[in-house]
Structure 1
């Protein structure tokens, strides 16, 4: 089968059937691109995933562009990004029309709760599998990850606030290490 068709199908399936975006797609993408097809090594895969997390924009699309480009050049980038975008575009249009019509009570409320909880599981799995590949081996990194996990899970602080806090903390730690 054509590699571009494979990339399109993989990203279309992963973006259509994993909730909460780019991070939830990582286990499925890793399974297909690294384990089954050997298109990338573990380190290459996680390097591009970490890079896609640090660039502005939609993580799923950036991941698709970076991984597709690495695997098959510009054609791979186009196929993977279209695969990531088109199912979600169609799904969001349909769901928005349905959401406007259905009252948000009863079973619908519980369906959204179930979707939200499964999304958390996918994100946790992705973070757990990425951790050894993208962080340094210092104890500070592990404490930072644990601290961010606790803050996100239990204190309900917004993600932009957490990112800003981590940014400020990294600047302070860098200054302390270099000048003190």
Structure 2
């Protein structure tokens, strides 16, 4: 039983608002980072073959490949946490939450890739879409299930603390049943012939 206006309700609202603000801030950063024009002497062609760019990165050697793949994983990874926080739901299916978050991350990544077609110096890369979506999923799996479990446990403890431990000495207060509305025949005056 949770009282109206209790600390739990306002704390949940503050967390959702903070998650929404951070989500918008991160999306603004992603738009700035991924959609700014680059001044380059030449541009590679678009990569539309899945995993071809990752193979090319791996051929460059360990430090450069790790940097490029890490950038792809990290760009949208915060969405894996911020999207569920902004939704603010605790009692959801873990698989459903992961699938919703991954789908939203994939759609946002796809939108960024499509918008890059009109930006000078930026190249469309299907591997970026794959890495961005994988980063969202990994961040979600690493943080969200554990965070939700802790918040649910905390809510249960708070609920138990709000419940009375035993009945008062006088017993329960009696309840009075509601009185229904009289039928129309009882409410109307008798008709005279």
TM-score, normalised with respect to structure 2: 0.27
The structure with higher relative contact order (CA 8 Å, sep 6+) is 2
More helix by share: 1
TM-score, normalised with respect to structure 1: 0.28
Query: Which of the two has higher C-alpha Rg?
Result: 2
